[in-house]
Amino acid sequence: MNAGVRKYVYEPEVTSVAIAGQSMRFPVRRIYCVGRNYVDHIREMKEGDERDPPFFFQKPADAIVEHGAEVPYPPHTSDFQYEVELVIAVGRGGRSIGIASALDHVFGYAVGIDLTRRDRQRDARAAGLPWEVGKSFDASAPCGPICRAADIGHLSAGKVTLSVNGDTRQTGDIAQMIWNCSEIVANLSLQYALAAGDLIFTGTPAGVGPVGPGDRLVAEIASIGKLALTIGSREA
Ligand code: MN
């Protein structure tokens, strides 16, 4: 036995997302999210100036949940909500990326759901505290298979919907985003060095709301596809 062979004291896990039509997977480095990017959602949340620059928060990379999975109803909330979002997968890193070349850094696109403990998010906002407890918990970042931009092109429009048990709750269009994909990549790269493996959740249209154990969510974006989930029982 050679004790020097092992590099780590435990085997680290690489979180990854499926790529549509490929056996290779997309390893996830970081997950960024845009806070407000559709006017009708800003209005339903009664917050913010509609022309404020985009702001960003993060979720842990291992919060990814894939298509078809069951998401446990998380502890520490009684107002667990969905937000359907277009997800940008970054394939090439950079900092201070210009808007004109921003899409060259995009590997592809996916359907995501920014799962939120809305009660804890509101508490944090009221107290001037960080958002992590409301946004950055276990299994809070469902993400469907990534469609390569090389296959589907870049997206500037396309219907976005989310249904709960077959009832449509959210309807929007990528064309309604206040900040488009190029502007999001460019703006985020002023604050952080982007790298291959980064995912960016780009904000949600109106219609967010709560779900409970047993509910079935289907999120869909035109030219990408579907992300289906089931909400599991409450964690202790
Ligand atoms: Mn969101």
Choose the weakest-confidence range: 35-39, 49-53, 149-153, 160-164: 49-53
pLDDT at 3: 57
Cα–Cα separations (whole angstroms), residue 208 to 75, 84, 131, 194: 20, 8, 18, 29
CA of 204 to the centre of ligand 1 (A): 5
CA of 202 to the centre of ligand 1 (A): 7
Residues forming a β-bridge with 94: 194
CA of 9 to the centre of ligand 1 (A): 36
Mean pLDDT along residues 132-139:
97
Mean pLDDT along residues 61-68:
98
Summarised one tens digit per residue, pLDDT across range 80-126 is 999 999 999 999 999 999 999 999 999 999 999 999 999 999 999 99
Cα–Cα separations (whole angstroms), residue 219 to 37, 62, 108, 123, 211: 18, 21, 17, 27, 14
CA of 225 to the centre of ligand 1 (A): 19
Summarised one tens digit per residue, pLDDT across range 199-211 is 999 999 999 999 9
Share of the chain above pLDDT 90, in %: 88
Number of neighbours of residue 27 by Cβ within 10 angstroms: 12
Share of the chain above pLDDT 70, in %: 97
CA of 163 to the centre of ligand 1 (A): 16
Reported in sequence order, the residue ranges of 84-166 that DSSP labels E, i.e. its strands, are 84-90, 106-113, 116-117, 141-142, 147-148, 159-164
Picking from 87, 95, 54, 102, the residue whose alpha carbon sits closest to that of residue 191 is: 95
- The helix/strand/coil state of 10 is coil
Is pLDDT of 128 > 80?
Answer: yes
Mean pLDDT along residues 140-161:
98
CA of 114 to the centre of ligand 1 (A): 5
If phi > 0 it is left, if psi is from -120 to 50 it is alpha, else beta; for residue 74 that is beta
Q: Tokens standing for 139?
A: 């299994």
Mean pLDDT along residues 37-47:
83
CA of 189 to the centre of ligand 1 (A): 19
Q: pLDDT confidence of 32, banded at 50, 70, 90? A: very high
User: Which domains, from first to last, does the chain contain?
Assistant: 16-89+115-234 (3.90.850.10)
Which residues are close to ligand 1, an ion, with C-beta < 5 A? 83, 114, 204
Q: How far is CA 5 from the centre of its chain?
A: 37
Summarised one tens digit per residue, pLDDT across range 17-27 is 999 999 999 99
